[in-house]
Structure 1
Amino acid sequence: MEWMAWTPVVEVFFICVVLMLIGMTIWEVVSPTVARRGFLPMVTTRGDRLFLGLLGAAYVNLAWAGVTDAAQWIGAGISFVVLLIVMRWG
């Protein structure tokens, strides 16, 4: 049976996801979300935009890994920018 390789990069990724969820929970308690419309073709809340941004970032990161041999940190950085764009203007 093959187990997941817990490399430092994987650990940092999951720690960041957990910290984002904790931060979003605190933000929601302090300032309840208001649904709004950005460049996404639907009305979204902060949680919706986080979910869609994480999906988009994952697809960008997978595409980066599949298309290029360049450093994966570059792909991760681009994925993070995608997440920020969707969170801010989505």
Structure 2
Amino acid sequence: MEWMAWTPIVAGFFLCVVVMLIGMTIWEIVSPTIARRGFLPLTTTRGDRLFLGLLSAAYVNLAWTGLTDTHQLIGTGISFVVLLIIMRWG
């Protein structure tokens, strides 16, 4: 049976996701969200946009990994920009 390799990068990734979820929970308690419509074809809340943004960023990152030979850090940066765009204007 093989176990997941807990490298510092993997641990950092999961730590960032946990911190993001805690931050969104606190933000929701302090300032309840109002559903709105952005460029996405549906009405979304902050949590919806975070979920869709994380999925989109993951797909962009996977596509970058599978389709190019350039440095992964560039794909990660593009994924982060996609997440920010969806969170702000989605």
- 1:81 alignment partner AA: V
Stretches of structure 2 that go unaligned for 5 or more consecutive residues are none
The TM-score normalised by the length of structure 1 is 0.95
SS in 2 for 1:73: helix
Q: Which has the higher strand share?
A: 1
SS in 2 for 1:15: helix
Question: Is the aligned partner of 1:80 residue 2:74?
Answer: no
Structure 1 position 3, deviation (Å):
1.5
Tell me the distance in 1 between the aligned counterparts of 2:43 and 2:61: 26
2:69 maps to which residue?
69
Percent of residue pairs identical = 81
2:12 maps to which residue?
12
Stretches of structure 1 that go unaligned for 5 or more consecutive residues are none
Cα RMSD, aligned residues only:
0.8
Post-superposition Cα deviations, 1:7-58, rounded to whole Å, max 9, x if no partner, equal 2221111111111100000000000000000000000000000000000000
Count of residue pairs the alignment pairs up: 90
Structure 1 ranges of 4+ moved more than 3 A? none
- 2:37 alignment partner AA: R
Tell me the distance in 2 between the aligned counterparts of 1:29 and 1:15: 21
